[in-house]
Amino acid sequence: MLRTLLLLIALLILIGIALVALGVINLNRGSDGGVTIRTSDVEVGTTERNVQVPVVRMENRTVEMPSLGVQDGNQQVNAQ
In a domain, 3, yes or no: yes
Report d(CA 40, CA 35) in Å as an integer: 16
In a domain, 49, yes or no: no
Reported as a single tens digit per residue, the pLDDT across 10-56 is 999 999 898 888 888 888 887 787 778 888 787 889 989 999 999 99
Q: What is the pLDDT of residue 78?
A: 55
In a domain, 1, yes or no: yes
Split into its structural domains, the chain has a count of 1
Q: What is the pLDDT of residue 33?
A: 76
In a domain, 20, yes or no: yes
The residue segments making up the domain with residue 27 are 1-40
In a domain, 32, yes or no: yes
In a domain, 7, yes or no: yes
Beta bridge partners of 28: 36
